[in-house]
């Protein structure tokens, strides 16, 4: 039972961090580029929240979708950092997305928690 609670706490912490990063990037885009970026950022954050909710409820399709999306974003971020700019926010995002992929795909306690929900 302790492993299940640990997996639940790890997943929820990861989800909060992912949503916070998404909101921060949406707000920073708004202040740099204007209103359209805020709307797209809110929609992106909402969709990410929905996927995280269904992953938390143990839906395998949501877990696979999150892993694929996070992997694509991680590859794009690494490419952008290597080719164009080396800024702190991109490095933080790379670390957070890589950690999130690990938590969702490979963390033993999170795997156990998601199995127990089904």
Q: Helix 108-117 and helix 2-33: axis angle, to 10°?
A: 100
86-115 pLDDT tens trace: 788 888 889 999 999 999 999 999 999 988
Tell me the residue length of the chain. 118
pTM of the model: 0.87
Beta strands (DSSP E) in the chain are: none
Instruction: Name the pLDDT band for 70 (thresholds 50, 70, 90).
Output: very high
Residue 74, pLDDT above cutoff 80: yes
Instruction: Name the pLDDT band for 76 (thresholds 50, 70, 90).
Output: very high
End-to-end CA distance of the chain: 15
Residue 24, pLDDT above cutoff 90: no
Compute the distance between CA of residue 54 and CA of residue 69 in angstroms, rounded to an integer.
Answer: 15
Average model confidence (pLDDT) across the chain:
89
């Amino acid at each position: 039972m302790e492993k299940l609670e640990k997996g639940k706490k790890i997943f929820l912490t990861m989800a909060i961090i992912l949503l916070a990063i998404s909101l921060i990037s949406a707000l920073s885009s708004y202040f740099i580029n204007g209103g359209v970026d805020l709307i797209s950022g809110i929609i992106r954050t909402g969709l990410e929240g929905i996927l995280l909710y269904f992953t938390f409820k143990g839906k395998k399709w949501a877990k696979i979708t999150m892993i694929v999306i996070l992997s694509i974003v991680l590859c794009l971020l690494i490419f952008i950092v290597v080719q164009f700019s080396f800024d702190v926010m991109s490095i933080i995002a790379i670390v957070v997305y890589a950690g999130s992929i690990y938590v969702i795909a490979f963390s033993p306690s999170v795997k156990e928690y998601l199995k127990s929900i089904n």
